[in-house]
């Protein structure tokens, strides 16, 4: 699939970002995404049992199946803040609605940052009118506004193929996905903060179905550090300004765009130097394939093996074997690193250490593992574990979600 | 319970260690533990589905309920080595039996080190006669012989109380536990390598029952890095040279000695600077309490919070909440760090950052978490995550199990 490079917004969507005073650094800490008209919408949220106040409110809002804007702050996550936190999340949504002149129940809010601290809501309310007045057509502006420990803004956009007869004069509909990740990233049901926008016409039911299916095989198979955030949110808005698209075509575009975003998030994990892409095949069931892929991508010894370019491939056997409930035959496990076989029938192959070491130091590292007991396959994404992760997370009050 | 300081062996047990040529460094790489006479025995092994050859052979041996010696090498784990690996494990046991003049099926063997490489069995066979001829009464000699990335040898011994009338002239029976840990440590059914020796008289059935009960609440609640080794072994030998003890008295001594060993293993985790001891109370079930305690002790963001002395206590809420299947009420979670309350009713307390930061930089860090929904409690042990862990595990062919 050909992506727009650089990413563009679908028709009718704009965004903005500014520094409203929450981050001490003066970097953008408030972002706003808005559609010219109400959009069909769907969203999934973290399964963490101590969810942020925006998640509690977001679950209510999304029942309506419609959104027109998303307002996001960084540095303070509004988690562990009780009824007052919920009240402040609602105030944040209402302030954005007033500034944009849209309905309050059409504004989704997200907060990311330190847990257990109250949202400086007056700063947000004070800044929203200015923010709403200066929206841009460039999705990277909003992508930059939602960053915490991310090292670069992240957005992708793809054209949605339509049958030639239906092709609108100014081009096909577009799907654009904006996201952030970095740390506290092993999403379950959704990832950190990802927003998808399209000018195609799609019902909330189709959006919900496609979103859940896409998330299961992309963001839910991503892990930077095995810690599931309290703020994970993935929402999609379809404003229908260009026209209808086929559900399967849309699902394919979502798969491609969300896979690309997942790889960006993995590669930019806290301290990461390399994307690790792990493909497990020959599993007895899809669950087994996913479990083994997640075990490999989360193992600190696998992650340091990649960071060090050290072909200590016995660790692959360990990480497969510690999946106690998956069907595993120690004598059938095969594996390759960027195409070089390193395990065959559960035994180390006679590979060249230098050559495999070089592959482990390239980006990405594609590790394939064949369990040899069935037909199911799954892929997981992650990153290596370096001194940079320790640096980022031992600092006093480093951004935590 | 009063421990013997320094540790001593129960009557009839001796051990030795030497360098047989597997480690390039010249440090001890072969150790032998032996009893004067056959002992009742029980053992538990790793649940990793790619177990080492010594585990395969050990599971057979332990069915007999009797052992007289344990032979251990480091640097090569004899895992992922197929039928040839099993044959070499048996040769290792037979060589030790010949050197000691005991039955071959009374010798348990363990190997720890790199996975996927064949055991240099000739070096081991060649060195065993010399090793068996120079056994010592000091358990620390054997403890040093089984070290890999451990920074110090680990043994504890406790006297086993007997009723006064039964007290033997030369003192009560003794329980001595020798172990090693460091990395690839989240045991399941047992830990890395732990051997317990006693001169009390106990049947294999009682040993098995007490061992499983003890391991469930001690070594199985230990995690250095969430990676479950292929070689975990925990065995106990009771040679009965002093006389019988009550099962409950023995179970209490095992609990105390294995808790002490668990704390030693956690504190000496790869790169660790601090023991993290996590007590979860108020859980709905024992399973919930154990799951939440393990989630807290395994979370990289909790571990770096401790490493950095950074009271970013929202991470506690995150790590509790990511236990999707445990009963959790976000508004009832309480927590304290070395006695200082940091969370109350799911909210951050008004604690002094400097004071809590200082506690996080002390050793040990005792974190208590009360879920407030039931009566069950559990404890887990681990360590902080530092640059040292990355150092140790990014090096080419660092010891891996």
pLDDT of residue A121: 97
Residue A390 or B20, more confident: B20
Whole-angstrom distance, CA of residue B161 vs CA of residue B152: 29
Distance, CA of B237 to chain centre: 16
Report the pLDDT value the prediction gives residue A48, as an integer from 0 to 100: 78
Q: How confident is the model at residue A189 (pLDDT cuts 50, 70, 90)?
A: very low
Active site (annotated) includes residue B46: no
A385: CB partners within 8 A, 6+ apart: A271, A300, A303, A304, A307, B390
What is the spatial distance between Cα B231 and Cα B52, in angstroms, rounded to a whole number?
A: 6
pLDDT of A120 reads 96
Q: Is A87 on the interface with B (CB under 8 A)?
A: no
Distance from the Cα of B226 to chain A's closest Cα (Å) equals 7
Q: From CA B97, how far away is CA A387, in angstroms rounded? A: 46
Binned at pLDDT 50, 70 and 90, residue B191 comes out as very low
- The mean per-residue pLDDT over the stretch A376-393 comes to 87
Q: Which residues contact A148 (CB under 8 A, 6 or more apart)?
A: A74, A75, A112, A113, A180, A182, A183, A399, A401
Residue B389 Cα, gap to closest chain A Cα (Å): 9
Per-residue pLDDT, averaged over A175-199, amounts to: 73
B25-44 confidence digits (pLDDT tens):
889 999 999 999 999 998 88
Q: In this predicted structure, which of A323-327, B223-227, B253-257 has the lowest mean pLDDT?
A: B223-227
Instruction: Quickly tell me which residue has 């130091």 as its tokens.
Output: A361
Instruction: Please state the rounded mean pLDDT for residues A143-165.
Output: 82
- Residue in B47, B85, B116 to test binding to A, most A beta-carbons within 10 Å: B116
One of A148, A176, A191, A198 is an active-site residue; which one? A191
Report pTM.
0.81
For B48-56, what is the mean pLDDT?
86
Of all helices (H) and strands (E), which one includes residue A283?
strand A275-283
Specify the residue for token string 């559609």: A35
Architecture of domain A13-267: 4-Layer Sandwich (3.60)
- State how far the Cα of B3 lies from the Cα of A381, in Å rounded to an integer: 48
Closest CA to B373 of B302, B294, B308, B280: B280
CA distance A198 to A369: 36
Distance CA A300, CA A294 (A): 12
Cα distances (angstroms) measured from residue B328 to each of A3, A12, B277, B332: 43, 42, 21, 8
CA B315 to CA A196: how far, in whole Å?
28
Helical packing angle, B247-267 and B204-217, nearest 10°? 40
Closest-CA distance, A28 to chain B, in angstroms, reads 22
Question: Minimum mean pLDDT among A252-261, B116-125, B133-142: which range?
Answer: A252-261
Cβ pair A360, A305 in contact under 8 A: yes
| Alpha carbon distance A357, A342 (integer Å) | 11
- Picking from A53, A58, A128, A46, the residue whose alpha carbon sits closest to that of residue A84 is A53
- pLDDT score at B190: 47
The model's confidence at residue B186, banded by pLDDT at 50, 70 and 90, is low
DSSP B95-121: HHHHHHTS-GGGEEEEEEEESSS---H
Distances in Å between the alpha carbon of A277 and those of A269, A303, A343, A379?
A: 13, 11, 17, 7
For residues A82 and A99, the model is more confident at A99
CB proximity list for A101: less than 8 A, separation 6 or greater: none
Which DSSP string do the residues of B118-154 spell out, in sequence order? ---HHHHHHHHHHHHTS-BS-HHHHHHHT-SS-SS-E
pLDDT per residue as tens digits for the range B122-175: 999 999 999 999 999 999 999 999 887 788 888 888 888 776 566 777 788 889
- Asked if residues B77 and B39 have their Cβ atoms less than 8 Å apart, the reply is no
pLDDT bracket for residue B187 (50, 70, 90): low
Q: What is the mean pLDDT of residues A305-320?
A: 88
Backbone angles phi, psi at B228, to 5 degrees: -90, 120
Residue B47 touches partner A, C-beta closer than 8 Å: yes
Residue B215 is predicted with a pLDDT of: 85
The average pLDDT across B219-235 equals: 75
B371's CB contacts (< 8 A; 6+ apart) are B280, B281, B282, B283, B284, B288, B289, B292, B320, B326, B327, B328, B329, B332, B333
Strand partners, A136: A15
Q: Where are the domains positioned within chain B?
A: 13-267, 275-385
Contact B338, B359 (CB under 8 A): yes
Top pLDDT among A112 and A397 is at A112
Stretch B294-302: mean pLDDT: 90
Q: Is A184 on the interface with B (CB under 8 A)?
A: yes
Residue B189: pLDDT band by 50, 70, 90 thresholds? very low
Which residues, in sequence order, are CB contacts of A356 under 8 Å at separation 6+? A311, A313, A337, A340, A342
Cα dist. A279→A191, A360, B48 in Å? 20, 15, 21
Range 278-297 of A in CB contact (< 8 A) with B? none
User: Which residues on B lie below 8 Å from A326 (Cβ)?
Assistant: 49
Write the pLDDT tens digit of every residue in A313-367.
888 988 898 888 899 998 899 999 999 999 999 888 999 999 999 999 999 999 9
A-to-B residue pairs, Cβ atoms closer than 8 angstroms? 241
- In the predicted model, what is the mean pLDDT of residues A136-148? 91
Q: What is the mean pLDDT of residues A367-395?
A: 89
Whether B83 and chain A come into contact, CB under 8 Å, resolves to no
Q: What is the pLDDT of residue B119?
A: 95
The stretch A28-35 carries a mean pLDDT of 94
**Residue B54 backbone phi and psi in degrees, to 5:** -60, -30
Mean pLDDT of A78-93: 93
Q: What contacts A130, CB < 8 A, 6 or more positions away? A: A18
- The answer, for B322 touching chain A at a CB cutoff of 8 Å, is yes
Cα–Cα distance list, B66 to A199, A330, B37, B200 (Å): 74, 29, 10, 14
The number of residues in chain A equals 401
Q: Sort strands A340-344 and A347-348 into parallel, antiparallel or unpaired.
A: antiparallel
Q: Is the pLDDT assigned to residue B56 strictly greater than 50?
A: yes
Residue A270 has a pLDDT of: 81
Helix (H) / strand (E) element for A285: namely: none
Q: How many angstroms away from the CA of B341 is the closest CA of chain A?
A: 14
Burial class (CB in 10 A: 0-12, 13-18, 19+), A350: exposed
User: pLDDT confidence of A389, banded at 50, 70, 90?
Assistant: confident
Cα end-to-end distance, chain B, whole Å: 32
Contact B383, B264 (CB under 8 A): no
The predicted pLDDT at position B398 comes to 43
Structure confidence at residue A249 (pLDDT)? 87
Assign a CATH topology to domain A275-385.
Answer: Ubiquitin-like (UB roll) (3.10.20)
Q: What is the pLDDT of residue A183?
A: 66
For chain B, say whether A354 makes contact (Cβ under 8 Å).
Answer: no
**8 Å CB contact between A317 and B79:** yes
pLDDT at A107: 95
**Is residue B188 over pLDDT 90?**
no
When comparing pLDDT for B1 and B260, which is higher? B260
What's the pLDDT score for residue B400? Answer: 35
Nearest CB among A230, A313, A323 relative to B116 is that of A313
- pLDDT for A102 equals 97
The answer, yes or no, to whether residue A399 has pLDDT greater than 60, is: no
Tell me whether A349 touches chain B (CB under 8 Å): no
Please give the mean pLDDT across all residues of chain B.
87
The answer to whether domain A13-267 and domain A275-385 are alike in fold is: no
Q: Is A48 on the interface with B (CB under 8 A)?
A: yes
Interface test with B, best of A317, A372, A385 (most B CBs within 10 A): A317
A-chain CB neighbours of B232 within 8 Å are none
Residues 6+ apart with CB under 8 A from A354: none
Would the pLDDT of A166 be above 70?
no
Strand partners, B228: B185
Question: Average pLDDT of B293-307?
Answer: 90
d(CA A232, CA A115): 13
Span B340-359, pLDDT tens digits: 999 999 888 999 999 999 99
């Amino acid at each position: 699939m050909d992506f727009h490079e650089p990413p563009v917004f679908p028709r009718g969507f704009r965004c903005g970002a500014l520094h409203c005073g929450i981050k001490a650094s003066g970097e953008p800490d408030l972002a706003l995404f808005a559609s010219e008209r109400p959009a069909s919408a769907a969203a999934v949220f973290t399964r963490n049992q101590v969810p942020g106040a925006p998640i509690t409110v977001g679950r209510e809002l999304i029942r309506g199946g419609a959104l027109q804007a998303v307002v996001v702050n960084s540095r303070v996550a509004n988690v562990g803040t009780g009824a007052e936190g919920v009240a402040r999340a609602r105030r944040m949504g209402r302030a954005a609605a007033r500034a944009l002149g849209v309905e309050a129940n059409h504004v989704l809010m997200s907060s990311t940052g330190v847990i257990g601290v109250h949202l400086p809501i007056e700063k947000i309310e004070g800044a929203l009118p200015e923010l709403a007045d200066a929206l841009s057509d460039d999705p990277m502006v909003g992508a930059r506004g939602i960053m915490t420990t991310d090292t670069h803004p992240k957005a992708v956009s793809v054209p949605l193929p339509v049958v030639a007869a239906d092709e609108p004069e100014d081009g096909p509909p577009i799907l654009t996905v904006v996201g952030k990740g970095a740390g506290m990233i092993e999403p379950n049901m959704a990832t950190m903060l990802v927003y998808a926008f399209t000018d195609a016409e799609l019902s909330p039911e189709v959006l919900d179905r496609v979103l859940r299916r896409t998330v299961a095989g992309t963001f839910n198979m991503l892990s930077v550090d095995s810690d599931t955030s309290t703020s994970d949110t993935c929402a999609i808005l379809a404003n229908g300004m260009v026209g209808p698209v086929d559900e399967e075509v849309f699902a394919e575009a979502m798969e491609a765009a969300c896979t690309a975003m997942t790889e960006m998030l993995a590669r930019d994990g806290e301290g990461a130097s390399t994307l690790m892409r792990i493909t497990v095949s020959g599993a007895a069931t899809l669950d087994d394939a996913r479990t083994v892929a997640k075990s490999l991508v989360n193992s600190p010894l696998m992650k340091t093996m990649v960071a060090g370019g050290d072909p200590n491939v016995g660790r692959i056997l360990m990480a497969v074997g510690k999946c106690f409930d998956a069907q595993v035959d120690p004598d059938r496990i095969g594996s390759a690193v960027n195409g070089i076989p390193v395990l065959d029938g559960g035994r180390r192959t006679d590979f060249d250490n230098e050559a495999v070491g070089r592959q482990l130091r390239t980006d990405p590292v594609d590790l394939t593992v064949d369990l040899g007991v069935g037909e199911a396959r799954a892929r997981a994404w992650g990153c290596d574990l370096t001194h940079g992760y320790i640096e980022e997370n031992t600092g006093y009050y480093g951004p935590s979600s």
